Amino acid sequence: MSVEICTVGGFSEVGRNMTAIKIDDEVVLLDMGIFLPAIVSFEAEEGHRNLPTQKLIDIGAIPDDHVIESWKPLVKGILLGHAHLDHIAAVPYLAGKYKVPLYATPFSLEILKAILHDDEMKLPNRFVPVQPNTSFTLTPNITVEFIGITHSTLQCSMIALHTPYGVILYACDFKFDNTPVLGDKPNYKRLQELGEKGVHTLIVECLYAHKEMKTPSEKVAKEMLQDVLYGVENKGKAVFVTTFGSHLPRIKTVIESGKKLKRKVVILGRSMGKYIKAAEDLGLVHFSRDVEIATYKSHMKKILNDVEKNRGKYIVLCTGSQGEPGSILDKILSEELPFNFGEEDHVVFSCKTIPAAINIANREALEARLKKRKVRIFTEIHVSGHAGREDLRDFINMTKPKHIIPAHGDASMKEALGSLAEEMNYKIGTNVFLMSDGQKVAF
Ligand SMILES: [Zn+2]
């Protein structure tokens, strides 16, 4: 009888997250994400979609769950922490073979349904909504608790498994934001209680374990963005802002800024529209009261024609933050959509480039095209949704885990969290395990 953990995916790269946890003879699966750069690169070279599951595994786009083949009959549930694609977008390809329910917050489930709808896929699994800061009995031996946390989309949760061996806490992804722009503050009280109760193992993101900082609040990103929008001369010029489609707090800031500037905010792009619709259907935001959202080409064309004529009267919020082909900014510059960027128009990148070679190349190419038209570019008007080294230190002090497994990172990121843990009197190999994709550890 024991606890066994298999680090299926996301432990050798940033993306395609998936962890399997075996408590005696029962298994729980946490997250099923994609590694987007693998898909983007593959599409750039081969140029088609709808790949079969095995092909997606072969190109490294989704977790290789063959490593838990022998655990398959023991799986009791699939738990999803938040709605980002590197945590949920492999569900359509992998979840069906486990005939168990999917548990996630209502927002994550809405996004999952939208992905399935877009890809014309169906799943046999039952969808069970779990509100943040609630728990339920999965089996007589395992109670699951979703703990509300701040990150960079809505209803993000840490997941605690209460087992006869103690709590296993899954903390991917999070930051400690004490002044969130949308949603609640982290549930520190509950995390402290878990620390007192006894955390057996903490599986925790290590993306910025090497960055000696406390990640700033989303309130700081709001200040940065408003400093550009209010503080730089833009009278009579077009203002475009791009960010991640899932970043509802940032979208909220753009909408508020538009009101202040008396510029009408228009939102263009299918992916951004998808996240906003999911949040509105659940009553979490009411953006469309204040803005026009266009997801179809004819609607976008009409709006862009208006913006062209009245460029000082709008803020256009759209996709293209990673320079991705097919995004709105790309389509405008390729003349698939009607708008002519001109001298001293503004394009604000309220994001960072996700550091994969394909994204860096795409962004550089997009910026070069904007510069040719003498557009003013503002980059990195952004703060991260991920914990820095000093947040991670506070978190470990708060939860006092017996064992730590760094997740959501490559070798150097895992080593950075390992070194932090050693500063805090843990020992790599004894109670800190730097695991790679497909490995198992037993307690
Ligand atoms: Zn995330």
151 CA to centre of ligand 1 in angstroms: 7
The model's pLDDT over 403-442, given as tens digits with 9 standing for 90+, comes to 999 999 999 999 999 999 999 999 999 999 999 999 999 9
Based on the fold, state whether residues 89 and 174 are members of the same structural domain.
yes
Q: What pTM value is reported for the model? A: 0.95
Displacement of CA 224 from its chain's centroid (Å): 21
Of the three residues 334, 354, 378, the one that is the final residue of a domain is: 378
Ligand 1: distance of its center to the CA of 177 in Å?
A: 14
103 Cα: distance to centroid of ligand 1 (angstroms): 17
pLDDT at 365 > cutoff 70: yes
d(CA 303, CA 63): 40
Find the 89 Cα to ligand 1 centroid distance in Å: 12
Task: For residues 287 and 406, give the distance between their C-alpha atoms in angstroms, rounded to a whole number.
Answer: 37
What separation in Å is there between the alpha carbon of 173 and the centre of ligand 1? 5
* Residues 78, 210 share a domain: yes
Based on the domain organization, do 190 and 116 belong to the same domain?
Answer: yes
On the 0-12 / 13-18 / 19+ scale of CB atoms within 10 A, 108 is buried
Q: What is the pLDDT of residue 42?
A: 79
The predicted-structure confidence for 139-194, as pLDDT tens digits, reads as follows 999 999 999 999 999 999 999 999 999 999 999 999 999 999 999 999 999 999 99
Cβ partners under 8 Å of residue 88, min gap 6: 31, 32, 33, 80, 82, 104, 108, 111, 112, 115
What confidence tens digit (pLDDT) does each residue in 254-284 have? 999 999 999 999 999 999 999 999 999 999 9
Distance 174 CA to ligand 1 centre (A): 7
61/200 same-domain check: yes
- Let me know: does 385 contact 82? Beta carbons within 8 Å: no
CA of 66 to the centre of ligand 1 (A): 25
Distance from the alpha carbon of residue 86 to the mean position of ligand 1, in angstroms: 7
Contact criterion met (CB below 8 Å) for 171 and 148: no
Inform me whether the pLDDT recorded for 402 exceeds 70. Answer: yes
- What is the per-residue pLDDT for 340? 97
Strands of the sheet containing 166-171, edge to edge, are: 134-139, 142-148, 157-163, 166-171, 199-205, 403-407
**How far away, in angstroms, is 306 Cα from ligand 1 center?**
35
State whether 197 and 107 are in the same domain. yes
Percent of the chain surpassing pLDDT 90: 93
Confidence class for position 348, pLDDT limits 50, 70, 90: very high
| Angle at alpha carbon of residue 435, lines to 397 and 432, rounded to 5° | 30
- Is residue 308 helix, strand or coil? helix
pLDDT at 372: 97
For residues 209 and 412, the answer to whether their CB atoms sit within 8 Å is no
CA 126–ligand 1 middle distance (angstroms): 23
Distance 204 CA to ligand 1 centre (A): 12
CA of 15 to the centre of ligand 1 (A): 9
Whether omega for the bond prior to residue 173 falls within 30 degrees of 0, making it cis, is: yes
Number of CB atoms found within 10 A of residue 378's CB = 18
Q: Which residue has the higher pLDDT, 46 or 379?
A: 379
Give me ligand 1 centre to Cα 375, in Å: 31
Kindly tell me if the per-residue pLDDT of 48 is higher than 70. Answer: no
Are 275 and 411 part of one and the same domain?
no
Q: How far is the CA of 279 from the centre of ligand 1 (A)?
A: 16
Higher pLDDT among residues 44 and 399, named by residue: 399
Which of 26, 25, 29 has the alpha carbon at shortest distance from 6? 29
CA distance 261 to 226: 10
Q: For residue 224, what is the domain's CATH number?
A: 3.40.50.10710
> Quick one: pLDDT at residue 303?
98
How many domains does the chain contain in total?
A: 2
* Cα 396 to averaged position of ligand 1 atoms, centre (Å): 20
pLDDT tier, 49 (very low <50, low <70, confident <90, very high otherwise): low
Among candidates 241, 289, 244, which has minimal Cα distance to 261?
Answer: 241
Please say which residue of 332, 362, 378 terminates a domain: 378
Whether residue 92 is found in the same domain as residue 224: no
Residue 372's contacts (CB-CB under 8 Å, 6 or more residues apart) are none
- Convert the pLDDT of each residue in 288-307 to its tens digit: 999 999 999 999 999 999 99
Which among 164, 223, 152, 238 is positioned nearest to 198, based on CA atoms? 164
pLDDT at 356: 82
| Per-chain residues with Cβ under 5 A from ion ligand 1 | 84, 173
On whether both 264 and 190 belong to a single domain, the answer is no
Backbone region of residue 45 per phi and psi (left: phi > 0; alpha: psi in -120 to 50; beta: other values): alpha
Taking CA atoms, 6 is separated from 33, 50, 175, 276, in Å, by: 15, 28, 25, 35
434 CA to middle of ligand 1, Å? 21
**Rounded CA separation 276/153 (Å):** 11
Given 361, 378, 395, the domain boundary residue is 378
Q: How far is the CA of 336 from the centre of ligand 1 (A)?
A: 31
Let me know whether 194 and 338 are in one domain: no
The rounded distance, in Å, linking the Cα atoms of 83 and 153 is: 7
CA of 304 from ligand 1 middle (Å) equals 31
Q: Residue 377's beta-bridge partner residues?
A: 347
| Distance in Å, CA 379 to ligand 1 centroid | 21
- Residue pLDDT, tens place only, 54-110: 999 999 999 999 999 999 999 999 999 999 999 999 999 999 999 999 999 999 999
Residue 205's CATH number: 3.60.15.10
Q: Are residues 300 and 196 in the same domain?
A: no
Contact, 368 vs 323, CB < 8 A? no
Backbone angles phi, psi at 377, to 5 degrees: -115, 135
**Residue 420 lies in domain:** 3-214+385-442
Phi, psi of 2 (to 5 degrees): -170, 175
Same domain, 154 and 27: yes
The span from the CA of 180 to the CA of 217, in Å, is: 7
C-alpha of residue 84 to centroid of ligand 1, in Å:
5
The CA distance from 99 to 15, in Å, is 24
Q: What DSSP character marks residue 150?
A: B
Ligand 1: centre distance to CA 247 (Å):
10
Same domain for 304 and 361: yes
